[in-house]
Amino acid sequence: RLLLNKTDLVSEAEELDRIEARLRGINGFAPIQRCAHSDVSVGSVLGINGFDLQRALKASPTLLDARGGETKHDASVTSVSIDQGAARHMRTVQQGALDLALLQSWISQLLEERGGDMYRMKGVLHIAHAEQRFVYHA
Length of the chain: 138
Cα of 39 vs its chain's centroid, Å? 17
CB 20 within 8 A of CB 32: yes
Number of helices (H) and strands (E), helices first, in the chain? 3, 4
The span from the CA of 138 to the CA of 127, in Å, is 17
Number of neighbouring beta carbons within 10 Å of residue 119: 8
The span from the CA of 133 to the CA of 20, in Å, is 36
Q: Within 13 A of 128's CA, how many CA atoms are on the CB side?
A: 10
The pLDDT, as a whole number, for residue 68 is: 63
The pLDDT, as a whole number, for residue 56 is: 80
The pLDDT, as a whole number, for residue 8 is: 92
- End-to-end alpha-carbon separation of the chain, Å? 15
Q: What is the pLDDT along the chain (138 residues), one digit of tens a residue?
A: 899 999 999 988 899 999 999 999 888 888 899 999 989 888 888 888 777 788 888 877 877 776 666 667 777 877 777 766 667 666 666 777 888 898 899 889 988 998 888 888 888 888 888 888 888 888
Beta-bridged to residue 4, according to DSSP, are: 34
The span from the CA of 35 to the CA of 46, in Å, is 16
Residue at 48: amino acid letter: I
Number of neighbouring beta carbons within 10 Å of residue 27: 13
